[in-house]
């Protein structure tokens, strides 16, 4: 089977199977060999690795992953793509295609079964509307992972990398940076896909930490604080936290804790670093005991 990653070979497969793109599945297939090379290079996959690919499409990245990895599991929701994948991946005996919705996959059980619980590598070019929930699910469930290499909307990739002071800094930046070191490895214009998406894309590599870069006693409380702060962007941190439906903290307690953190009383949440959110969670946790 010739490599799929060019317009002619992709069109040939699509015509052979009379495939119709389904908008609801966010189907934009990669047709640029240079971008594929950048993705594979960023993953640093070796013959020791087990790789989970989310949304293989017609198998364009899957072929390259099979060449590099020990074993690949590719999870695809669209039943019309399953016979195509059987055809395009027939040369490889180290791949399993699961016809399933990725949102229903038990990642930890898969890592246990296929990799004896050792860290896995995740690679995906996903529909943009499920990218963030999936990344958060992988992190929050503490699935053992070395890295996630994923194609996302350009703005989302930028948000993941931002720190305090930038307008794009938010709950996603902090969540990603607590679990991984993000690095954009390629900017990808719409003409690298078939059909062309309406937005620019970027490949981001998230190099997962074995231990987070900051210590916090209650991770859940820290993320609740982060969410509450950024839900109310224009409010001060104190107002954001006291008006949150999720947290039941008195304004007096919040003000006391902010003072103990050593930042101005009228500071906004978006000025706090990950370290400061972790310390604030510890201070509040101590006072609530």
Interface contacts to ligand SAM, rule CB under 6 A: 25-30, 54-57, 60-61, 75-78, 81, 101-103, 125-127, 130
- Between 141 and 243, name the residue whose CB sits nearer to ligand SAM: 141
Please tell me the distance from the alpha carbon of residue 17 to that of residue 28, in angstroms, as a whole number: 17
SS3 (DSSP) at 73: strand
> Is there a contact between 276 and 268 (Cβ–Cβ < 8 Å)?
no
Of 145, 82, 100, 91, residue with least CA distance to 118: 145
Q: How far is the CB of 240 from ligand SAM (least distance, A)?
A: 33
- Between 72 and 258, name the residue whose CB sits nearer to ligand SAM: 72
Q: How far is the CB of 74 from ligand SAM (least distance, A)?
A: 9
Q: How far is the CB of 18 from ligand SAM (least distance, A)?
A: 16
- Between 150 and 284, name the residue whose CB sits nearer to ligand SAM: 150
Q: How far is the CB of 146 from ligand SAM (least distance, A)?
A: 20
Backbone angles phi, psi at 175, to 5 degrees: -65, -50
Of 281, 250, 251, residue with least CA distance to 265: 251
Residue nearest to ligand SAM (CB): 55
Token pair of 132, please? 């963030």
Of 11, 9, 6, residue with least CA distance to 37: 6
Q: How far is the CB of 99 from ligand SAM (least distance, A)?
A: 9
- Between 124 and 228, name the residue whose CB sits nearer to ligand SAM: 124
Angle, vertex CA 156, rays to CA 154 and CA 160, nearest 5: 120
- Between 98 and 253, name the residue whose CB sits nearer to ligand SAM: 98
């Amino acid at each position: 089977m010739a490599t799929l990653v060019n317009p002619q070979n992709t069109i040939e497969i699509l015509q052979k199977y009379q495939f119709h793109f389904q908008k609801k599945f966010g189907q934009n297939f990669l047709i640029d060999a240079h971008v594929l090379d950048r993705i594979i290079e960023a993953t640093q996959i070796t013959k020791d690795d087990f790789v989970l690919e989310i949304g293989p499409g017609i198998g364009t990245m899957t072929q390259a992953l099979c060449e590099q990895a020990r074993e690949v599991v590719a999870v695809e929701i669209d039943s019309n793509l399953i016979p195509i994948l059987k055809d395009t991946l027939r040369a490889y005996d180290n791949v399993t295609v699961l016809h399933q919705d990725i949102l229903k996959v038990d990642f930890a059980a898969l890592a246990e079964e296929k990799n004896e619980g050792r860290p896995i590598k995740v690679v995906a070019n996903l529909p943009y509307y499920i990218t963030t929930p999936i990344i958060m699910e992988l992190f929050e469930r503490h699935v053992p992972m070395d890295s996630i290499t994923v194609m996302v909307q350009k703005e989302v990739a930028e948000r993941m990398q931002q720190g305090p002071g930038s307008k794009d800094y938010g709950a996603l930046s902090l969540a990603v940076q607590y679990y991984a070191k993000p690095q954009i490895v390629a900017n990808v214009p719409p003409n690298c896909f078939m059909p062309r998406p309406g937005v620019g894309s970027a490949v981001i590599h998230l190099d997962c930490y074995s231990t987070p870069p900051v210590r916090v006693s209650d991770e859940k409380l820290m993320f609740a604080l982060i969410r509450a702060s950024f839900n109310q962007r224009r409010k001060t941190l104190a107002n954001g936290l006291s008006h949150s439906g999720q947290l039941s903290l008195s304004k007096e307690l919040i003000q006391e804790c902010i003072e103990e953190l050593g930042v101005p009383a009228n500071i906004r949440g978006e000025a706090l670093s990950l370290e400061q959110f972790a310390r604030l969670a510890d201070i509040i946790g101590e006072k609530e005991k």
